[in-house]
Amino acid sequence: MTDAIVTGLDVARDVVPLPRDAGASGTASVKLMRLAAGLGLAALSLISVEFLFEPLAELGLVYKLHTGLGGASLASLSLLGAMAAGRAMQRQIRPQRPGPTPCALQQASQIVYAHSHAAAGLVALGDKQILFSQAGDAFLMYARRGRRFIVLFDPVGPRSAWPGLVMALLRQAKASGCRVAFYQVSADFLPVAADAGLRLFKLGDQAIVDLTRFDLKGGDWLKLRRSINRAERDGLEFSVIAPEAVPDVIDELGYVSDVWLAHHQAGEKGFSLGTFQRSYVAAHPVAVIRLHGRIVAFANILTTDDREEAFIDLMRHLPGTHRGMMDLLFVKIMLHLKAEGYSRLDLGMAPLSGLSSRESAPLWHRLGRLIYENGERLYNFKGVHAFKAKFDPDWQPRYLAVSRKSEALPAVVDTALLISGGVRRLMRR
């Protein structure tokens, strides 16, 4: 079975057949419909895994799927299922690949701590392979899904080592009969991508808060101040637990995590999302919210030694505790990190934000913008962007990089399946 059979365009071709007597204009219209369906599928697959079940859902920023969806939405979900199932069927049964050795994980973690890319601390989950530079001072992390190597983030380490790492992985993938996709790379990766002949597709914008200028003074912060003051008056208390003290409360944290997962009828994800592994959680500071002495919310914070950047990873809470709880947690984390001398906080990506709507913009941008503006029935794109925007972040673009345009949609679906752990877990809820 060739790779073309499982691309989004091939699935869309079955759903939107070309009329036999169609003229040139009709043919163009049908092709546009196929492309639109394919991009919609890509957006839905990413959204359903990486965003639908985040704590933002509890804040009312994400709408739940329901049986009242329109025909177009149901068709898109059917298309998603067909494509995901097709890629799963294509994948041959292989033995479980061994993870990185403890020595490799330690080396990678040391590189992360020495550089300003806190989110790269996700390497410590141990669910990704690690490729080191020849000098051992840089690495990239990736996982294999079927016949694709999926790299997470930019390489970590000196930028002079990036081109060599990328070319080494491309050669390794070719020798294994695989393709490579680079997921959530930044603008810093663009020169390397160009030299390697990779095509870039924007996924959204990353929200980065400049902590050096973050405060709650002035009228612009009035609504947020009121939310926080109300939460504190109602008895919510914030504190940060140092890594060495986390084992003392790990059972409480585990309980909150279990309740949160059960409430969302979701299992743990992976790859680009943290999971509740006790050793992993205990390796980082954990911010908690208590009510009457009991932990009701927490977030673990990935940091770097130079204190340039921090990243909020796991965010879990007991549903229905307090409306302002997550506002309190976010703001107090920012103020705490600022007091500790950190320069910025990574809040993660707002999907499909920042795409151009100009008529001359690439088709990926125009269709993505169309989904962003009109896809509220499935996912509150604008709400997620607005929630992060109220912390006044800098918005930085994030991209998918692949070798050919036709690989973009299959790469997105493979990434979604990798994060979720398979088709069944992707389609749950």
What is the SS3 assignment for 116?
coil
For position 40, what pLDDT does the model report?
53
Examine residue 383 and state whether it is found in any structural domain, yes or no.
no
Average confidence score pLDDT of the chain: 79
Asked if residues 353 and 395 have their Cβ atoms less than 8 Å apart, the reply is yes
pLDDT digits (tens, 9 = 90+) for 177-228: 999 999 999 999 999 999 999 999 998 899 999 999 998 888 889 999 999 9
Mean pLDDT across the stretch 294-314? 95
Write the single-letter amino acid at 396: Q
| Weakest-pLDDT range from 151-165, 215-229, 251-265, 410-424 | 410-424
Mean pLDDT across the stretch 227-245? 96
Check pLDDT > 80 for residue 125.
Answer: yes
| Weakest-pLDDT range from 136-140, 358-362, 396-400, 422-426 | 422-426
Range of the structural domain that residue 59 is part of: 3-90
Check pLDDT > 90 for residue 284.
Answer: yes
Examine residue 427 and state whether it is found in any structural domain, yes or no.
no
What is the SS3 assignment for 337?
helix
Write the single-letter amino acid at 257: S
Asked if residues 259 and 317 have their Cβ atoms less than 8 Å apart, the reply is no
Examine residue 409 and state whether it is found in any structural domain, yes or no.
yes
Residues 343 and 358 in one domain: no
Residues 241 and 343 in one domain: yes
Residues 328 and 267 in one domain: yes
Examine residue 64 and state whether it is found in any structural domain, yes or no.
yes
Residues 232 and 262 in one domain: yes
**How many alpha carbons lie under 13 Å from residue 183 in its C-beta half-sphere?**
28
